[in-house]
Amino acid sequence: MEQLEFIYKRKSIRQFKKEAVPREVIEACLKAATFAPSPKHQQNWHFVVIENKEMIHKLGEIVERNHTRLAHLARTEEEQRQYMRFLKYYTCFTGAPTVILVYAKPYEMVEEEILRESQVDASIIEELLAPQSGAQGIGAAVENFLLAAANMGYGTCYMTGPTHSKREIEECVGFSKENYGLMAMIACGVPVDQTPPQPPRKPLEKVVTFID
Ligand SMILES: Cc1cc2nc3c(=O)[nH]c(=O)nc-3n(C[C@H](O)[C@H](O)[C@H](O)COP(=O)(O)O)c2cc1C
């Protein structure tokens, strides 16, 4: 379907040309991100844009150091090697000219407060929070960003892997807003000429059930 071309042209890009992404492109993608739905329209996101090469490099070093430390917690050398195979997927943002850090504030759920004050069983609260609505809103916003960027010819990678270094990344970046913490990162830039194809999808019949 032609109208959906903008969806199908997006794929994760992990290698970028050196070329900078113009500020107006980033702003257009961020605006698109903020037009995503969010639970009770709380818009619980904040985007921190990093274009400083040195800082991006430093963030990469932080992620690599922590990833290696975590890998060494594995019991066997084989497991450590296996763990280390993911490193390149956690640090590929370092080749991007622009990295967007996506901060989020927890979703404030009045119903949760009401039921907590009524001292209901913990399992009821657990069920209420299970959809992780705050995180779902962030996902919607990030996807809008990715689609907007792809439609303008830019490449992106949605990344949560590096958030194992959340505390150190937050310290290095120095951004702070009450109750907000790092949830995800977006690497953004001009894709290199040859990029791997989009991985195939499960066929619809495996992931869809129509109930008449
Ligand atoms: C929540 C989320 C987190 C992700 N984290 C990473 C990541 O840390 N590093 C990475 O290289 N890709 C990451 N990805 C990208 C996926 O690997 C990618 O979307 C998937 O393999 C499908 O490929 P495509 O995006 O090219 O269609 C993430 C995607 C999502 C939705």
pLDDT for 40-58, tens place per residue?
Answer: 999 999 999 999 999 999 9
Q: Structural domains in the chain? A: 2-106+134-207 (3.40.109.10)
Q: What tens digit of pLDDT does each residue of 88-139 get?
A: 999 999 999 999 999 999 999 999 999 999 999 999 999 999 999 999 999 9
Q: Name the pLDDT band for 1 (thresholds 50, 70, 90).
A: confident
- Whether 158 is in the pocket of ligand 1, judged by its Cβ within 6 Å, is yes
- Whether 14 is in the pocket of ligand 1, judged by its Cβ within 6 Å, is yes
Rounded distance, CA 187 to CA 137, Å? 19
- Whether 90 is in the pocket of ligand 1, judged by its Cβ within 6 Å, is yes
Q: Which of 8, 10, 12, 64 to mutate to test the pocket of ligand 1 (most atoms within 8 A of CB)?
A: 12
Comparing CA positions, the residue from 25, 18, 37 lying closest to residue 136 is 37
Rounded distance, CA 171 to CA 77, Å? 32
Q: What is the pLDDT of residue 91?
A: 98
Q: How many CA atoms lie within 13 A of 189 on its CB side?
A: 24
- How is residue 72 written in tokens? 């060494």
- Neighbouring residues of 59: CB distance < 8 A, sequence distance ≥ 6: 50, 93, 94, 99, 162, 165, 169, 172, 173
Q: Name the pLDDT band for 63 (thresholds 50, 70, 90).
A: very high
